[in-house]
Amino acid sequence: MDIIDVEAPAPIHDLFQETSSELPARHVDCLFGETKLYAVLDAVRMPSVAEYAAAEDLPHCNLYADMDESLQVVGPWLVELSKEAGLTRALVTDDGSINAFWSKEPGIFIQTSADLEVLQRHLMRLVRPSDDSGKPVYFRFWDPGVLRDYLARIADWPERIFSLFLLPDDAELEIIICDASSGRLRKASMVGDWPKPSRPAYRRDVTLTARDRMHFAQGRLPAMKAELAAWLKRADPVRFRPFDAARINRLVSHGLAEGSTFKFRYKEEYAYFLYMMTFLGGWFHRSPVYSVFVDPLKSKPEGRYVRMRQRFPVIYQSFFSKVPPPPVALEELETGVMDGIAQRGDLASVTVEDTKNLARRFEALMNLDGERLELVRQEAMEACDRVSLSERRDRGMFYLLWLTLGVRFHEDPLFPWVREKLFVTADMSENLDQTIRYALRRLQRTNALSRVLTHA
């Protein structure tokens, strides 16, 4: 497949300024060749597309023609364009008027020698193909944002290239995608890549496989990350006010990476997963303490988001009726450590025995015993080894933070300050004390605010 990215011709900035009955030469040279020019246009972004085409007697058809009428009104339209058509001018105009569609990116252009009916049948195969289980799915191939990235990802996949670009009777098509934001234009075709004798027979059905789903997911990842980052800021503006763009992006990337282990499909699933993290910590799903919260995440994809929303509040209320919620645990940590400091004079004088006593207190608070307790301790000690904490007193203090801030707190993007303090120098023991001092100051502010809000 040939993919060429070039600078797009400048859009018309006044629909009536360039008064020629034809397009400016820059658009003619870019869009029109020796074959016909079609556009596949989204009726949601361009509701008047059918009226435009009918008013100018442009050949057109709906690619949802075999679906319910309620879907046809929002489906894509295939329109054969001409150099003289007002619709063609409107598609390359960007003057801010309701008749200017360049910046709205309503669809894609297609060059081919095929007639409208042949191209319609070819494209309708793609509109609602089946997945590898036989279930019909929707493929918005006419969305520039979807197709632009997808084409780049299938460049080494001959079977998929044929299914897109090869029409009956060996006819071919070329796709033109305009990116209004960057001013670039992408042209994709199979010209020159595949000799005709080696081409497969035309297939009237298309199946989207796991490989397609992977490409779609990777393609929408940047947009999803931006949307989730914005959502976090809106969902909890107080908590995330100190988070700059880099911190927010690390948290979102963490949520996406961990959510993918549950094979999440939808943005809403990732968003609610991040929401759960704000209550339980960024690694709650890997902690034996919170294993009861993981079951809805592992459930079958159909309806999973709804189950997550329904089950989490119920499980949370039930779980924390038996153990103290995180704010109470944090207040216990503050009280216990401050008492220890008061007895010993300063944090550096807190002993191994002090940390053991505090740890037992927290283990009891969290209702940890038996196998769960052994798993928690084992994970925490393995983490101590990884960060080179060898002194028993340091390992005890690290374990206290593990119990209260959460499993793998030192790698938790919800607590970016931990990593910034804990690894600032090579002296891990001193770094740990600085981290705890900073944590105590934060706990004192958080607990004071919590008490004020509780009694307000």
Structural domain boundaries of the chain?
2-212, 221-319, 326-455
Per-residue pLDDT tens for 217-229?
Answer: 777 777 788 889 9
Q: Could you give the CA distance from residue 349 to residue 397 in angstroms, rounded to a whole number? A: 12
pLDDT tens-place string over residues 369-383: 888 899 999 999 999
Q: In the structure, what pLDDT confidence band is assigned to residue 66 with cuts at 50, 70 and 90?
A: confident
Q: What is the mean pLDDT of residues 11-31?
A: 75
Give percent of the chain with pLDDT exceeding 70. 89
Q: What is the tens place of the pLDDT at every residue in 418-444?
A: 888 888 888 888 888 888 888 777 766
> Over the stretch 262-273, which tens digit does the pLDDT of each residue have?
988 788 899 999
Per-residue pLDDT at 412: 92
| pLDDT of 302 | 82
pLDDT at 452: 46
pLDDT tens figures, 93-121: 998 888 899 999 999 999 999 999 999 99
pLDDT in tens, 320-346: 777 666 666 666 666 766 676 667 777
Identity of residue 179:
D
Q: Which pLDDT does position 380 carry in this prediction?
A: 93
pTM listed for this prediction: 0.56
Distance CA 456, CA 451 (A): 8
Q: What is the pLDDT of residue 312?
A: 95
With contact defined as beta carbons under 8 Å apart, do 23 and 104 qualify?
no
Q: 294-333 burial, b for 16+ CB within 10 Å, e for fewer? A: eebbeeeeeebbeebeebbeebbeebeeeeeeeeebbbbb
105: left (phi over 0), alpha (psi -120 to 50) or beta: left
H or E stretch covering 179: strand 173-179
CA-based Rg of the chain, rounded to a whole angstrom? 30
The C-alpha atoms of residue 353 and residue 332 are separated, in whole angstroms, by 18
What pLDDT is recorded for position 354? Answer: 86
* pLDDT for 39: 97
User: C-alpha angle with apex 257: 154 to 304, nearest 5 degrees?
Assistant: 90
